[in-house]
Amino acid sequence: MADQFSQLVDVPALLFSIVWIVGFAIILSSLSIQHYNAQQSGIPFLEQLKKPPFQLVLWIGLTLVSIGFAGISNSRWELIAWIALGALSLFQTIDPLQKFREMDV
């Protein structure tokens, strides 16, 4: 039964697709939460997006999206572009992570 499933479905592509979908879901849900927080606190939405918690979640989400798309890319240049974006996104998480750790949460 499992062998038939693996013949019908490209399991690695399915798993990588789950990763990028989860990455987008994280980004979109974080945007929604920040929009709600901005409305409740009276802080402008763009100012809310500059805060370290959102920045951290954004870069983690983009890293997941990049990993997912790298895993399902069909050409070498596409793979290189997604890996480069993933590495940049992962590098960009350092500053918000340090600021988040310094915050009183």
- Tens digits of residue pLDDT in 42-75: 999 999 999 988 999 999 999 999 999 999 999 9
In the chain, domain spans: 13-102
Q: Can you tell me the mean pLDDT for 73-98?
A: 93
pLDDT on residue 75:
94
Side-chain-side CA neighbours of 1 within 13 Å: the count stands at 0
pLDDT tens profile 10-22: 889 999 999 999 9
pLDDT level of residue 88 (50, 70, 90 thresholds): very high
The predicted model scores a pTM of 0.86
